[in-house]
Amino acid sequence: MNLQSLIKSGESETLEFKEKFDDRTVESAVAFANAKGGMILIGVSDKGNITGLDIGKETLAKWANQVSDKTEPQLIPEIEVLEFEGKKVVTVKIPEYPIKPVSVRGRCFKRVNNSNRSMNSQEIAEMHLQSTGMSWDRFPAAGKSLEDLDLGKVSRYIRKARVSGRKGFGEEEDPVQVLEKMELVKDGKPTRAAGLLFCKDGRRFLSQAVIHCGRFKDQTLVIDDRLIEGTLFEQVEEAMDFVRKNTNVKFVMTGKPEREEVWDYPLEAVREAVINAVCHRDYTIMSHIEIRIYDDELIVWSPGGLPLGLTMEDLFKPHASKLRNKGIAEVFFDTKIIEQWGSGIEKIQNYCREAGLPEPVFEEYQGFRVIFRKGTFNEEYLRELGLNERQIKAVFYVKENGKITNKEYQEISNTIKRTASRDLAELVSLKIFEQIGTTGKGTEYILSGAGGEKEDVI
């Protein structure tokens, strides 16, 4: 082990520095055990300076016993002494514990970046379910019976799953038997997932399991408001109806037999965000999913942050899917509402890029939310600036291709060089285009950074 390079990498989700062994060391051991495992270097300051230790074998055994005695379930650390320039540093390796959470003096800790955070009761329950392969929605719903389910809706699911090829159900399989096979009914009782997916019309299976939609003129003036109930399938579709009703669409001639619909926000991206909210929200929180539509942005908010073990950084790189509601997710996957595990964020980004819009914002904000924003250079805005049809066409050309030359402007607008030069100069003066180069064939025009658009929009 190269101690110097390890220390140089700095404290992280899997590495902690301590000048001495104390109760905080045991808390770090617990936090690592509840995450992906990690290592504690004792004899190293927070700033990464090697302070060293004067210890013997008895001290190491004492530290190991303290970690084991103070933790529940007991952790067995792997302790080793390293030397660097005559100074001793102790490494305490903690493996990930299979059944979580581990506690110290009755408190549980989780690792967040390079620090330890105390866990609340909700996080403790979720971590235990996750580590045992269970999920909240696969437990029987208290006070509910099969009478609360619409078996006709279950039969429709069976047909869709069979057509999708993702479940090999037989033609005449009994709906209740299918639910039992999928562990959506246990001991004759519907699970929470079964109730949320297949409840009868007019019945709200959980009071908090609704979507609250609003169209706002400003932060306080609501001009349309709707509370959407029903099954989760129905909630997704009715929420999208609300979005279509409260956003703008224009029709574009593409040369194809049918005109193309272009919405303020790509409906596929919004739908994906709504599906993710419905499928992955924390249903133990007594709040509704919210869809807020303003003049210049659309927000989809769901209760509960990211599932334990998943960070914001993980969302934007290939990652294993962490399912908070496994029963709901399985049924959504069977019916192709979810196409592929863990692909939702990438799909949303791609839909927005293809539409020439800024990438949406994903953030943990008292839960989790996705913020869609209109592009600064949308058609409505460009017309308000007084641009002509040639100039508007050129802006969208640059959105798609990244740049345009005078010659390309002439070709797509069917105009002469002098007109193209005048139009392009006006676009530069309005700070919509930025000119690259001065004169001649090497001159190109790209979208101005002042407009808030990205140059690499596909």
Q: What's the distance, CA 84 to chain centroid? A: 43
pTM comes to 0.73
Give 3-state DSSP helix, strand, coil % of the chain, rounded to 5.
35, 20, 40
Q: What is the CA radius of gyration of the chain?
A: 28
What are the sequence ranges of the domains in the chain?
A: 3-119, 213-323+333-373, 379-451
**Strand, coil or helix: what is 177?**
helix
d(CA 265, CA 357): 8
Q: Where does 379-451 sit in CATH, by number? A: 1.10.10.10
d(CA 405, CA 409): 6
- Phi, psi angles (nearest 5°) of residue 141: -85, 125
- Which residues have C-beta within 8 Å of that of residue 152, sequence separation ≥ 6? none
Nearest CA among 308, 355, 302, 294 for reference residue 120: 308
Q: What pLDDT is stored for residue 453 in this prediction?
A: 39
Of the candidate CATH numbers 3.40.190.10, 3.30.565.60, 1.10.760.10, 3.30.390.50, the domain formed by 213-323+333-373 belongs to 3.30.565.60
Q: What pLDDT is stored for residue 383 in this prediction?
A: 84
Burial class (CB in 10 A: 0-12, 13-18, 19+), 193: buried
d(CA 339, CA 423): 45
Q: Which CATH class is domain 3-119?
A: alpha beta
| DSSP β-ladder status, 368-373 and 361-363 | antiparallel
pLDDT by residue, tens only, the chain of 458 residues: 688 889 999 999 999 999 999 999 999 999 999 999 999 999 999 999 999 999 888 999 999 999 999 999 999 999 999 988 889 999 999 999 999 999 999 999 999 889 999 999 989 999 999 888 899 999 999 999 999 999 999 999 999 999 999 988 877 789 999 999 999 999 999 999 999 999 998 778 889 999 999 999 887 899 999 999 999 999 999 999 999 999 988 877 666 667 778 899 999 999 999 999 999 999 999 999 999 999 889 999 999 988 877 788 888 877 667 789 999 999 999 999 988 766 788 899 999 988 878 889 999 999 999 999 887 676 777 888 899 999 999 998 887 788 999 999 999 999 999 999 999 999 999 989 999 887 767 899 998 753 433 332 21
